[in-house]
Chain A
Amino acid sequence: MSLDTKAVAHIATLARIRVPEQDLAGLAKELNGIMTWVEQLNEVDTTGVEPMTGVEQRGLPQRPDVVNDGAMPDKILANAPEPAHGFFTVPKVVE
């Protein structure tokens, strides 16, 4: 698998990272290097091994349906740049 500059530009857009045109080729090379390195994993024969995303084998821990959190709007908004009337504010997003 190999990434061209167009794919890198697309990924940058999805990640909301502004990448100048002249940097795309260099980034593509770097990303391709990382991918080639990861692709070495393909050399391992995983026939019959179920895919897993973690090493922990016990089930997902669950929590009772109890309200024991929240009720701290001041803390939630403490780092917001321009809170107003208890809301976060952001530049207008209109549909």
Chain B
Amino acid sequence: MSDNTKNLIEGRTGMWEVVLGLEVHAQVISKAKLFSGAATAFGAEPNSQVSLVDAAFPGMLPVINEICVEQAVRTGLGLNAEINLKSVFDRKNYFYADLPAGYQISQYTQPIVGKGTIILDLPDGSRREVGITRLHLEQDAGKSLHDQHPSKSYIDLNRAGVALMEIVSEPDMRSSDEAAAYLKKLRSILRYLGTCDGNMDEGSMRCDVNVSVRKPGDPYGTRCEIKNVNSIRYVAQAIEHEARRQIEIIEDGGTIKQETRLYDPNRGETRPMRSKEEAHDYRYFPDPDLLPLILEQSFVDGIKAGLPELPDAKHERFVKEFGLSDYDAGVLVAERETAAFYEQAAKGRDPKLTANWVISELFGLLNKEGKTITESPISAAQLGELVGLIQDNTISGRIAKEVFAAMLETGKSAPAIVEEKGLRQVTDTGAIDAAIDDILAKNADKVAEYRGGKDKLFGFFVGQVMKATGGKANPAMLNERLKAKLQG
């Protein structure tokens, strides 16, 4: 954290350092809610996934969903964090129309997961460790729709009571790039673990950013919390704007008021949230409806034993085992599905060549078609076959691109296309020799020029022979035979 000069922001009175901590709300993947048996699926009819517990009818008691507990522990282990064998549920009290009970069941002083770490992969290729303060389980609130009626807000409680993991980082980040890298890495880990789908569009991962500024070396400044920023791009933008706003206030002789703010991406500014102005007194107390959650060490160990290989470990293995560059490995491991696709395609093939094909050709195609790797029109096995054909010299890399396009168009396998179109590379010296002889005979004048010292004509001959063979001559063999014949 000492070498941070590149992240500093210049103000009128000198350089400023931005200090960032993130609170991420990650929706737990489970069928039923945290404390009720109502469904969690996205996009259902309003209020159709609400139990009497979620709607806070009198006398209803919460019973915790064991899978949600397991998912929180799994996530904690994935973040190299301490698992607290005893944790406690508290009530966080506030009034809002989409919070039927008037309190949210959350965890305050004794969360299920304590301190952990996450390693950021930064755009310049460097890596940096950021501390995780805690992870706790809590209920989500319902959803308010403000644009359906001129004077009413509509409330849908389908989301009320769905399990969230609130994951809080240490104030360890110093730039919007680092905050973005944190979110990307966290999302990647959650997806590998299968504990949250990380979908920010559907709100299953939401982010609050704590922003403060200080002169380097000074103690932390007063922070503002920017609520519910719903994309990684907006998080970065909100940070830039908020840091600027704070620096200007301080440089004008003012002080920062600790408050909750909202980012407005249309206007490119943050503004205070009125509803939160005096709601900071949550009066937490232990929920008398819920006993402390006690876990057995064997339960935690069992989950640990079943953890999948996580992005950092996979990255390291791809570099070591397959000889990939850090960059390529990083690209391939970012999504679990991509890594699995690559490994399947690379099975028994040249791993570097396969990586090139996945990253340049396949990603290019998917990007163009707006598809994810799981929707790829070309399967891992099919791509592997194509790479195999390049590797064993059946086709050249150039022809392979043609085959790739045909695979996409016809859905046929690479070997079938190569046979059908007669694209097999010519490695038969007799055939190559014949083609060369033919070209040399037709261009006797140029052969004379070449022999007279005009070396550059070599490329011309290569091109002509390639053309004559439909691009199928093995390039290395062609070069070798051509050179011999021109000298002879």
Contacts and interface: CB of A to CB of B under 8 A. Distances in A.
A26 interface: no
A59 B294 CA distance: 6
B253 to A, nearest CB: 30
Interface of A: 10, 13-14, 16, 53-54, 56, 58-73, 75-77, 82, 84-95
Interface stretch (B152-160, B196-204, B333-341, B454-462): B152-160
B51 interface: yes
B97 A86 contact: no
B298 to A, nearest CB: 14
Contacts of A54: 288, 291
Contact of A65 (B47, B68, B95, B291): B68
Interface secondary structure of A, over-half rule:
loop
Contact of A67 (B39, B69, B281): B39
Contacts of B97: 88, 90, 93
A76 B55 contact: yes
A89 B156 CA distance: 9
Contacts of B39: 67, 70-71
Contacts of B154: 84-85, 87-89
A66 B152 contact: no
Interface residues of B, number: 57
Contacts of A84: 149, 152, 154
Given A56-B291, A76-B50, A65 B32 contact: yes
Interface secondary structure of B, over-half rule:
loop
Contacts of A87: 46-47, 145, 148, 154-156
A41 to B, nearest CB: 16
B445 interface: no
Given A86-B46, A88-B154, A65 B67 contact: yes
A92 B67 CA distance: 37
B288 A95 contact: no
A93 B146 contact: yes
Contacts of A71: 38-39, 48-49
A52 B97 CA distance: 32
B66 A64 contact: yes
Nearest to B67: A65
Nearest to B285: A53
Contacts of A61: 63-64, 291
B46 A67 contact: no
